[in-house]
Homo-oligomer: A and B are copies of this chain.
Amino acid sequence: MTAVGSTPYGWFDESAREYVVTRPDTPTPWINYIGEGGYGGIVSNTGGGYSFDRDPRNRRVSRYRYNAIPADQPGRYVYLRDQETGAFWSPTWQPVRRPLDAYECRHGAGYTRIAGELDAIAAELLYFVPPAAPCELWRLRLRNAGVRPRRLRSFSYVELSYPDALADQQNLDWAQHIFRTRHEDGTLLACTEFRPDTTFFSSSAEPVGFDADRERFVGRWRDLADPIAVELGEPSNEDSPRGNGIGSLCHELELAPGEEREIVYVLGIAGDADGAARAVAAYREPGAVDAAFAALRADWDAYLARFVVATPDPAFDAMVDGWNPIQCRTTLHWSRFASAYETGLGRGMGTRDSAQDTLGTVHAAPERAHETLTRLWRLQFLDGHAWHQFFPLTGEGSVGHAAERPAWPQWFCDDHLWLVIATCAYLRETGHAAYLEQRVPYEDGVEETIWEHMLRAIEFTRAHRGPHGLPRIGFADWDDTLNLDHGSGRAESVWCAMQLCRALLDLAELAGELGREAEGFRALARETAAAVEEHCWDGAWYARAFDDDGRPVGVAAEERHRINMNPQTWCVIGETAPSERAERALRSMEEHLGTELGIALLDPPYDGGDERVAGTATYPPGAKENGGIFCHANAWAVVAAAKHGWNDAAYDWYRRILPLLRDDSDRYLVEPYVYCQNVCGPTHPQFGMGRNAWLTGTASWTYVAATQWILGIRPTYRGLRIAPALPSAWDGFTARRLFRGVAYEIAVERAGPGNAVSLEVDGVAVAGDVVPLPPPGRDRVSIRATIAS
């Protein structure tokens, strides 16, 4: 058995909670994130990537060339040049790509460390953003591992972007005239004449020279593999009065054998030159950099310590204790905006995306979930629906791709319902009932309480139902590409009916806890479920939706798209189906859509365009929503199976998409340490290839599936429920979870078949499966749970 996460390109270092990339030439750039929500960016295993402040479209700091050749350039580079021989290289391999004697990249939570050695010069670059800082640090350590003294020059390189990234990339004529970079006192400052915002780049050591202008540094008709300044060993020391600004500082280093030197670079953006100077000065204080890194580590350690598990499955533990919650926090902060696939130009943040992103983080960062939810409720309109997307810096909302079809509905049926579901989850976790009284404005004016916002969300869906009494689908539901309403106002989403029921049951439970009227919610849920049962059962599974003409999609009578995953899982999650139908639906799903690498979203895929469903049929068979394996939806299958009591199916489905188990990197291509959004399905020539790693709702939902459903540790208004769906291969597990400030130490043991739980709390038997909060003052409870029928 190979170690967890081992691939031809790296391995998982469990003790350090780092993914270690051992070769720079990964199948695709394997990236990480630094910073979160404020200043931050992406960094690849060869130093590629870019940065921005809050919003990669409207406040970009550095450039990246997506889908270009050479791939994964530019980035945060330091060239090293041996002043005796003139030889130069990149310790991050790129951009020079000269083979190194040793290479290792360690991606950790909020930092990346790349070490490269050549000819007895050992270099290490550590990239991170100090908590809440307006800038990033690159700590370069150089050590002479040889036996003779060495004289080196280092040249940093980062390509600065005019903050409006769209203008930077498309309005070359303007952007290249206005954005200027100058040198002052060891710091490079880039800004325009008409706005004070200033991008800055500096270092902790006195440079011997600088380059501010890309063309001067690189030279005509050269590239980043052989810039003239590095080849000659001479910086130009010229400002950049127009064109392309860069941050390049040249340092000279004499290193005796065994000697080590450190240079710290600072890159950031400030409101003006003074702000830039302050940020730079802050990290010149002795110890400031190490302190900042220690603070970052401590913050992540505390976050990750909120839930720790030990099961018989090391891959499960590695994900649940490390990369999965790291990924969850990343999606919460960057939504789907900036990744190796999303260019940081177009979409902004997603309303439903961010709502779901809170689900995987609320236990460990409830204050961030609170902030996100409040921000999202502001995107709601008085009629109850919400903007589909928004830009975090400007607050500008949008209807997303619906804008391309102005005659079709300009709303998605699920955005506002996710807000209800996520808010209930937040309340179950925190018990923060006062949140419901918080007043938040609508997009179109007045302010109301969160509770009233939730009621309006339900009301929108109630008021927008179609001929079968199901929610109208609008432009689309969770599946953006399922565009069934061509202006008729009649197309319906079966899946959304089930989602509505989930939201209603959550609200009813909440209302019950608060002593408010719950029956209205329950009645609408019953009515909706009845409509589903009456109209949507197709004999062996549920239909997916109805089109303008009331004709079903996702039924056996169709030639294409005969069955779709989502209603088969959500009939369980939304509790709309009788048990026998739920069971049959799950079985049909596995039978028709299951593969060893996950469950395909639908089958058979469309083969050629089909204006009836529009978006879905733009994809070729097996790609994305047209029959690809959508990992996000696979997480729902895990939840549904566990909820239905199919423990082994839940665990099996969970493992099929577990990235740490994908050791076939040359097929999978993407990072093995985080989930990707989709895997090419069995009908695609590249079946098994992953796409869109990192920013996907898969992160939160697999975390929920693993912790709340497989492990069965679920927050409730009255305490922590312990209701595992223990895989038959496991004899138990232990976990430590913080819940409302109390540490729950949990040991689960299987005593016999079945799923019934007997609880002992601090040695005392407790009825039911919910462990109540201990009396005030106690910050720790110890739980033994025994499973048997």
Contact = CB atoms under 8 A, between A and B. Distances in A.
B242 A194 contact: no
Nearest to A614: B194
A685 B173 contact: no
A691 B172 CA distance: 11
Contact of A346 (B171, B195, B621): B171
B242 A617 contact: no
Nearest to A692: B173
B342 A173 contact: yes
A218 interface: yes
Contacts of A94: 221
A620 B180 contact: yes
Contacts of A346: 170-171
Interface residues of A, number: 61
Contact of A178 (B69, B170, B619, B684): B619
A148 interface: no
A164 to B, nearest CB: 11
20 contacts: A24-B221, A25-B221, A67-B172, A170-B343, A170-B346, A173-B342, A173-B691, A173-B692, A177-B620, A178-B619, A178-B620, A180-B620, A192-B618, A193-B606, A193-B609, A194-B609, A194-B617, A241-B620, A242-B623, A242-B680
Interface in A338-393: 341-343, 345-346
Nearest to A220: B25
Contact of A607 (B25, B193, B244): B193
A484 B542 CA distance: 62
Number of copies: 2
Nearest to A29: B221
A438 interface: no
Contacts of A609: 192-195
B221 A97 contact: yes
Contacts of A618: 174, 178, 192-194
Interface in A45-92: 65-71, 73-74
Interface of A: 24-25, 27, 65-71, 73-74, 94, 97, 169-174, 176-178, 180, 192-195, 214, 218, 220-224, 241-242, 244, 341-343, 345-346, 606-610, 617-621, 623-624, 680, 684-686, 691-692
A439 to B, nearest CB: 30
Nearest to A67: B172
Given A172-B343, A624-B177, A686-B242, A73 B69 contact: yes
Contact of A170 (B69, B242, B345, B691): B345
Contacts of A606: 193
A341 B65 contact: no
Name the 5 nearest CB pairs between A and B, nearest first: A194-B609, A70-B223, A241-B685, A177-B623, A194-B618
Given A67-B172, A69-B218, A71-B221, 6 more contacts: A68-B68, A70-B221, A70-B222, A170-B343, A174-B618, A193-B608
A193 B617 contact: yes
Nearest to A173: B341
